[in-house]
Every structure is written in structure tokens, then in C-alpha cells.
Amino acid sequence: MYLKLIVFSFFLMLGMSGLVLAAESEHSDSSFWKDGIFHQTSIDLSQYEDGLIRARIEGEWGEFRVIPFPESFLEWNIGRRLEMLDKIKNHQPPDLAGPHNGIVASHGLTRKDSEFSLNNAVKGMGFLPKPEKLSEIIDLLHNTIEEDFPEKLAILESLYTNYQDIFDLNKQVSLELYSTPEFETHTFLNQMVDPGVSIVFLDVPSYEVRALSQLLHPEDPRLTDYEKQIVEYINLVHSYFHGEFPRLYIAVVYHVIEVFDNSPGRRDALGQKIAP
């Protein structure tokens, strides 16, 4: 119970900014919803099997190649995630810094409460299992979601320990927790019209990931079977760690295009591109 209180308090603090009353100002002049559902049209994954994504960036369509994370990023990311699980097991609060909290910069569409389209927001980040592993991991989480918290932490630890076999290492995933037809976050609005984002992680070493964001509404009838599984998995692993939630939330997939090392005090870093 104490472990759950630590985790709940930590993420309640992060999520308080979303607990606001909807108002007309929390929208743009553009409308993306029809009967409570949206379909993102600024990104095209029809060539994804060839490693390519088409997206509308800065108002123009372009073709981008998806890349895997460099080894240095993975060693840092996975290592820090295992450290976080160990802290929680030892009744210590997790750090605010690290790979879970990606700071997402986006732009593209002004909201009625601002004169700028530029926006920055902290989003919980994680990995997505490989397509051939996705069903297996979904079943594992479903079958163990009622286990005691220490047992669930051990399962998560085993996934990260075997990350190279389990996870798709060219993307990060998250949830858009607060956007609805009644209230839209600025991140959501920006990503709907311009999926190009920059994600920075507050830590040393410090990495910046430039990515294309794919938004998936759980009830979109145009989702493929694979995309439906993505939505299910991201919501499930969120509930697995934080407790059950009342509905499925919008899933976000960040496809990696470029990676930079922004680590301070290192002459070989200083914002240098390390992938591709």
C-alpha cells in the first residue's frame, strides 16, 4: 500500500495541470472531432514497412526515415528505468529526472488563450513491444494485473532487463490524457496539424529526440488491428502501474527521426547529433 501511495502522489503532482475546467479558450479555430472521435490526417504511415513516414511539417509534406535509438541512449534509458523500479521497491520516491518524463515541444496551431503556437509539456514516456511480441505482453499484463504490487514491479523489471528482445527500439509511446471534444490541450492541437516534435529528457546525460507523433483515438473505426493493440497496450501498462482508469485514452506514438546528445560539460556532446 505504501508503494502505491508513493507512486500515486508522484504522478498526481505531475498531472494536476490537467485538472482544469473546460472553457471556450481551451480550443483553436480548427475542429478535429466528429461524433466524439478524431482521425489524424497530418501523418501517413502507408510506407512504414519500408522505414518511411510521410508527414506535414511546417505546412509542407515530406518523407522521413525512422531510425533506432543509439546504444548510448538505450543504456541510459533502460538503466534509469531499472533504478526507478529499485527505488520504489525500497520505499523511495522515484526521481522527477530521467526517461519517464519527456518534455515535449510542439508547434503549429494557436489556441484561443495564447498568441503563440509554441507549446511545451511533460509527458510520461515508455517503450512499445515489437509487433510480434505485442499480443504476448498484453496477455501477460492482463493475467497479472491483480497481483500484489511487488510482483508487478518484478514483471516490469524483467521486461526492461530483456528489452532488446521485447521492445521496438525506434519509438516511444505516451497517452494524451486530457484532450476531449470539450477540452483540448495545446500539445494535442499542435500535433494534429504538425506532428514534428522535440522531446528532451532532464537528466545527465541529456538527450533530445526529434520525432513524428502519431495520435490514435481508441474509437477511431479506421484503426488497423495493430493500432488497436497499440492503444490497448499503452492504456493497459499505464493502469498496470498507476491503477485502473475509467476509459481508454488517446494513444501517442513518437517515431524517432533524429537523436542529439545535449549533455552539459562534455565536449563531445554540446547538442551534437548522434543518430542518424
Give the residue from 151, 154, 177, 158 showing the smallest Cα distance to 245. Answer: 177
- Tell me the pTM: 0.90
**Could you tell me the three cell numbers for 114?**
495564447
What is the pLDDT, as a whole number, of residue 8? Answer: 41
CA–CA distance, 46 with 64 (Å, rounded to integer)? 12
CA–CA distance, 5 with 75 (Å, rounded to integer)? 29
What is the pLDDT, as a whole number, of residue 268? Answer: 65
What are the residue ranges in the chain where pLDDT is below 50? Answer: 1-22
pLDDT tens digit sequence for 48-105: 999 999 999 999 999 999 999 999 999 999 999 999 999 999 989 888 899 999 999 9
What is the pLDDT, as a whole number, of residue 267? Answer: 64
Domains of the chain in sequence order: 2-11+25-275 (2.30.110.10)
Determine if the peptide bond prior to 93 is cis (ω within 30°).
no
What is the pLDDT, as a whole number, of residue 10? Answer: 45
CA–CA distance, 123 with 176 (Å, rounded to integer)? 8
pLDDT above 70 coverage of the chain, percent: 90
CA–CA distance, 40 with 43 (Å, rounded to integer)? 7
